[in-house]
Each structure stands twice: as C-alpha cells, then as structure tokens.
Amino acid sequence: MDKNYSSNNLTFNNMASDIVVGLDIGTTKVATIVGYLNNKGKIEILGHGKSASKGVEFGLIQNLLKAQESIRTSVQLASSHARIDEITDVYAGIAARHIRTANCKHYIFRTNHNALITQEELDSMKHDVENIALPPDQQIIAIIPQKYVIEDSADGASHESLDPVGEIGTKITGYYQIITGNIQEIKKIDTCISSSNIHTEELILEPIASGLSCLTEDEKQRGVALIDIGGGTTDMVIFQNGHPKFCKVIPFAGAVITKDIANVCNIPEDTAEELKINHGSCIPEKSSSSRVSTILRPHGQPPLKITDEQLAKIIYSRVHKEILGIVKAELEKSGCMKMLQNGAGLVLTGGGAKLRHLVELCQFDLGLNTRVGIPGIGFADSLSNELKQPLYSTALGLLKYGIENETRDFQPSDNEEETSNNRPEDNNEPKDRKPREGRKSGQLMETLKKTFSNFFEQIS
C-alpha cells in the first residue's frame, strides 16, 4: 500500500527510506513510534506517542471501542510529535494468550543432485508449510525454520544444517515451528487499527520484534533467550545462529503481580502499581523489614502499613512460583538450556524488567547469565533517553522490522555526513515524503491471602 505522509516546512536530506511506523498495543500502554532509515544505515526517530491502554486484558482486546480510542490517541500524539499530517500505515505487534505453537516437518526430493541448494528452494519449502491444514479458528502468524536435514545420494548419509544454501544433496527435510493465533482475535486488532483509517502492513510476533531492538548479533549467534515481561503477557524467544529458534507467549506478567498486591492488601490497582514500582522487589532477603509504607485505603478503612520485605514476599510468590517457573519449564522443553548456558544466556526486557532484583532471581532460578535489554541497537545516537527504556523494546523493534522489510537492498553510504532529524524552520520549500488467571491463579491467590493475612496485624 502506498504511503502518503506529508509535512509542513520540513526537509530531510539524509533519508534512505520512506517513513515507517511501529504500533505496540499492550495491556498497559499503546505506543506508536515514527522513524526512517538514514543514509548511514541508522534509524532516526521522528516522533512517538504513548497512551494508557484501555479495553485490553492479558494482550486480548476485550472492548473494541475503548481500544480504538487508545490507539487513536497514541497515533495522533505520534503524528503531532513527528510533525506529519497523518499516519496511514503501521507495523503492529501481536502477543496474547491465544498464541499457539506447533512443530512440523516438510521435505522435498531434488532432481538435480549435484546442483547447489538455493535460497529459492528453502523459500519454496516454507511457502508449502504456509498452506498446512490448520484448525478453522487459527491463522498463521509466523513460521520459524528450526533446522534442515540433507541426505546425500552417494552413500545415503545425512547431516543437519542450519543454513544449507550452497550444499548439495538429494533430499531436504525442513523442521519448523509454526506460530498461530485465533482468527477472531487477529481480526479485532485489524478492526481497531482500521477504525482510524490506518492500514496494517503486517502483524509481527512481539518477542521477535523486541529482539531486534535489544539483542546484539553476537548474542543471537551464540544463543540467547529474550524474555519480554509486559503488562499482560511474558513473551519468550530463543535465538541461535542468528535466527529465532523457539517462541512462547506466557499469559502472566506485570499486571498479575499488581493484582496480587491489590487483592492481598485490599487496595486499588493503581495504588498497588505505584507501590510495586516505588518499593517492590522480588527477593525478600534483599528488602528492608524496617522500612514501612503507609497506604491510605478507601471507604473509611484504616491505613495499611506494609514493610518492603512483606511486599517483596507477595511479589516473589508470583514471580518465582509462576512466571519464572513457567519460563524455566519452557526453556527446558525447548531443549536449549545447555546452549544458553554456554552462550549468551538470558536478556530481560519489557516494563517488568525494571522490577528490582529480578536479574539476580533469574540467575538463581534459571542458572543463566542475565542482563536487562535496553533498546537501541541499529538506531542513531540521537535516540532519546526517554525511549531507551525496556518498555519501548517492542515498539522500537516493530519500527525496525518495518524498516528492514522495506529496505532489504539498501547499502549504507560512507561518504555522506550523518545528520539527525534535520528540520530547518526557515526552509520555504515543503517536501512531501512517503513516508488467564484461571483456576491455578485463583488457588495461588487464596494461598497468598492466607500466607499474608497476619502480616498487617503484626505491623499495625
């Protein structure tokens, strides 16, 4: 679809691409980021917008009218910040509890045994997999090649290869992970975006997008797991030899921790969120037993007094027993734990990555070297500190995905001086440019309430 972005009194002398927009529809926020590729091969940001996400729970759109308004607000803020008339196309993210994964294999026999295997053959095999029969309510979001097995006609031997282009053989067997989503949930996203007369260029699995913005090429080559802890879901992707190898969406994340605090302490969720951000930790032993927070409660209830240590015990129960417990089980199921231990380990991103002492808890629970992933890889030095935050990893990654998708053949210039958002106000020649909590969760909540019921009596 043709983009038709226009601006007033703006000139960009170093644009190597049209303007591209990334849209992250999260459980707690909707983020829109506008940017382009400069002649040095770096991504420049023109503007961004963020709005509170309404009508979205655990990554699922529940109220379309509220979600549409949140999207519209975010997009309009980004458009105004970028000083463009309107946004007409976006690369949007998808990750919610309806996401499913399955494994399959597909093979072809080659007529010319001595000819080198080509990328076209591999692409054709992947295209065949796209036509695989699915349940009527499912739609393919992504197909991730895992490995190939090449058979040789000479001696009947076979070997594995991650990139068989340039090899020879009589038979190629490809192993793939298929990521699917519920058709109705996908339609909801498209409906909410199109309500603002915006076209969805492509839906991208969010953890893959996040990996683009905060993982180095060395990490992806050596082997790394990216864990994106958002508001509604915890998204996981494992990279090896530069490519995604395994993906999973876990329906528990930061919002559930906030609900735990709110329910145990009998306080509103917005108050619980502030308490988590300002005083929360996921390791009780590293939290003060003497530092007390006093929280006013509604309906004439007496104020709540809670220590940092008590708060950390509530958070730890959810993070350790459920979120990281599921992450560990999925990592082991993937068969990649040894590779990760010998490789680059674990990278945490998303808004939940800022929870105090989460890095230490991950290293202890999962036995992997862990760091926090700050987005910015592939972006110009002008990227603002406001955007260099884990909660923007997905939105920036979606933007980067779109730019890479539209500039595959671009070669950076070594001769031109890199500039950043050259916007001369005195230029008189306008330039148009195209620019689930479920039963298990309920049981955990009852356990939490019983465990912590006497805490507040002791301290009050």
pLDDT tens sequence across 281-296: 999 999 999 999 998 8
Q: Is the pTM of this model over 0.95?
A: no
> What is the residue-wise DSSP string for 329-363?
HHHHHHT-HHHHHHTTEEEEESGGGGSBTHHHHHH
User: Residue 112 in 3-state DSSP?
Assistant: coil
pLDDT score of 18? 87
Residue 426's beta-bridge partner residues?
none
Q: To which residue do tokens 């049981």 refer?
A: 443
Asked whether residue 135 carries a pLDDT value surpassing 50, the answer given is: yes
Average confidence (pLDDT) over 209-227: 95
Domains of the chain: 100-181 (3.30.1490.110), 216-372+437-460 (3.30.420.40)
Residues 6 or more apart whose CB falls under 8 angstroms from that of 338 comprise none
Given the DSSP bridges, would you call strands 158-161 and 370-372 parallel, antiparallel or unpaired? unpaired
Identify the residue with better confidence: 74 or 247: 74
Q: How confident is the model at residue 5 (pLDDT cuts 50, 70, 90)?
A: low
Average confidence (pLDDT) over 345-374: 96
CB 219 within 8 A of CB 211: no
Residues 6 or more apart whose CB falls under 8 angstroms from that of 179 comprise 99, 100, 101, 140, 141, 142, 143, 144, 205, 247
Asked whether residue 179 carries a pLDDT value surpassing 60, the answer given is: yes
Average confidence (pLDDT) over 162-166: 90
pLDDT tens sequence across 364-423: 999 999 999 999 999 999 999 999 999 999 999 999 999 998 887 666 766 544 444 444
DSSP state of 284: G
Average confidence (pLDDT) over 161-168: 91
Asked whether residue 321 carries a pLDDT value surpassing 90, the answer given is: no
Average confidence (pLDDT) over 429-449: 45
Q: From CA 227, how far away is CA 249, in angstroms rounded?
A: 10
CB 287 within 8 A of CB 308: yes
pLDDT score of 439? 40
Longest dimension (CA), the chain: 84
Range of lowest pLDDT (93-97, 193-197, 335-339, 400-404): 93-97
Edge-to-edge, what's the strand order for the sheet holding 29-37? 43-52, 29-37, 20-25, 89-94, 199-205
pLDDT score of 3? 56
Identify the residue with better confidence: 408 or 249: 249
Tell me the residue length of the chain. 460
> What is the residue-wise DSSP string for 181-198?
EEHHHHHHHHHHHHTTT-
Average confidence (pLDDT) over 101-118: 90
Q: From CA 308, how far away is CA 310, in angstroms rounded?
A: 6
Asked whether residue 258 carries a pLDDT value surpassing 70, the answer given is: yes
pLDDT score of 118? 94
Asked whether residue 319 carries a pLDDT value surpassing 90, the answer given is: yes
User: Residue 417 in 3-state DSSP?
Assistant: coil
pLDDT score of 12? 53
Q: From CA 227, how far away is CA 266, in angstroms rounded?
A: 30
Range of lowest pLDDT (18-22, 47-51, 98-102): 98-102
Average confidence (pLDDT) over 218-227: 96
* Helix/strand/coil percent split, the chain, to 5: 35, 25, 35
Asked whether residue 114 carries a pLDDT value surpassing 50, the answer given is: yes
